[in-house]
Every structure is written in structure tokens, then in C-alpha cells.
């Protein structure tokens, strides 16, 4: 557990760096979290993050990676619609790293 001072607010993160309170999320916070990992969020990253957030709003869970891949293929072109591309964007794995920047809880279970 740690607390991040951000724009005059105290933001609580769990041991793995996920937001404790999902309502704390803002775009600027996502940028800051990524910068901590020396990552600059580009439009490509934001495509993924925005999709994760809208899926989460509907289903209260992140989409399976295949659904994400298909969506990226649709919006960004066939050459980008694959797992490899997503791992290039999020080296720690799209399911975990992208969810963290998107302010989603960490997936649990045998994953």
C-alpha cells in the first residue's frame, strides 16, 4: 500500500500499484503512473486504455485479451491486431499493466 501525492490529492495505491479507489482515476493520473515506469502514453496506448475503461463500465471486468485484440484490429488496422503488438505497448502484459493505467482492478484467478 502506498499513497501518491497527485494534484493536491492523496491517491491510494495497493501493493501492486493498482488504484484502491477506482473513482480516483483521471487521464493525468494514468500519465503519471506510466511515467513512473518510464513509459510515455501515446495515442496507441490510449486506444487500449479507453477501450478497457468502456468495457469495464459495462461488464465490471477487463475484457479477455482476444476481445481487446479484435477491437484494436478494428480501430488500428490488421497489422496491429495481435498480442505481440499489445506486449510491445505494455511490456508487462496488457491484462495487468494496461489495466493498472486504466484504473481497473487487477485480474485475479489462474491468470
Partner 1 sequence: MAEEKAPDTKHHSGADREPNEIIQEYIKFEKIKYYPVELTGDIEVPKLTPDALVMVKPQLLTSKEVLARLGYPENGLRPDWKEVFLAKMDEILKKYRSVKLFLDICVRCGACTDKCHYYLGTGDPLNMPVARQELMRRVYRRYFTVQGRLFGSKFVNGEELSEELLAMWYTYFYQCSECRRCSVFCPYGIDTAEITMAAREILNSVGLVQKYLHEIIDKAQVIGNNLGMQQNAIVNALEFVQDELIETTGVEDIRIPIDEEGADVLFVTPSADFFASPHIESLYGYAKVFHQAGISWTMSTHASEGGNFGLFIHNYEHMKKINKRIWDAARELKVKRVIGGECGHMWRVLSSYSNTMFGPFDYLDPKYPRPQHICEFTLDLIKRGALKIDKSANEEFTVTMHDSCQVARGLEMGGTEFGQFEIPRGVIKGVCDKFVDMPEHTIRERTFCCGAGQGLLGDDMLATRVKGAMPRMQAYHYVKKNNGVNFLALICAICKAQMSKMLPTYGFPMEEVGGIHQLVGRAIVLGAKEGI
Q: Which residues bind partner 1 (CB under 8 A)?
A: 1, 15-16, 58-61, 63-67, 70, 83, 95-96, 107-111
The least distance separating partner 1 from the CB of residue 75, rounded to whole angstroms, comes to 17
Report the residue number, 61 or 77, with the smaller CB distance to partner 1: 61
- Residue 16 grid coordinates: 501492486
99 part of the active site: no
End-to-end CA distance of the chain: 22
The least distance separating partner 1 from the CB of residue 37, rounded to whole angstroms, comes to 14
Compute the Cα dihedral for 15, 17, 18, 23 and give only its sign: positive
Report the residue number, 23 or 60, with the smaller CB distance to partner 1: 60
The label of the residue with cell 495497493 reads: 14
Catalytic residue from among 16, 58, 79, 110: 110
Whole-number Å distance between alpha carbons of 86 and 34:
15
Q: Which residues are catalytic?
A: 110
Amino acid at each position: 500500500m502506498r499513497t501518491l501525492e497527485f494534484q493536491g490529492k492523496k491517491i491510494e495505491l495497493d501493493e501492486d500499484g493498482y488504484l484502491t479507489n477506482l473513482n480516483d482515476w483521471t487521464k493525468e493520473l494514468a500519465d503519471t503512473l506510466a511515467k513512473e515506469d518510464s513509459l510515455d502514453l501515446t495515442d496507441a496506448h490510449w486506444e487500449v486504455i479507453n477501450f478497457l475503461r468502456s468495457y469495464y463500465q459495462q461488464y465490471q471486468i477487463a475484457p479477455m485479451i482476444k476481445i481487446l485484440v479484435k477491437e484494436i484490429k478494428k480501430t488500428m488496422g490488421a497489422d496491429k491486431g495481435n498480442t505481440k503488438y499489445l506486449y510491445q505497448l505494455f511490456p508487462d502484459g496488457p491484462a495487468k499493466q494496461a489495466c493498472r493505467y486504466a484504473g481497473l482492478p487487477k485480474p485475479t484467478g489462474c491468470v
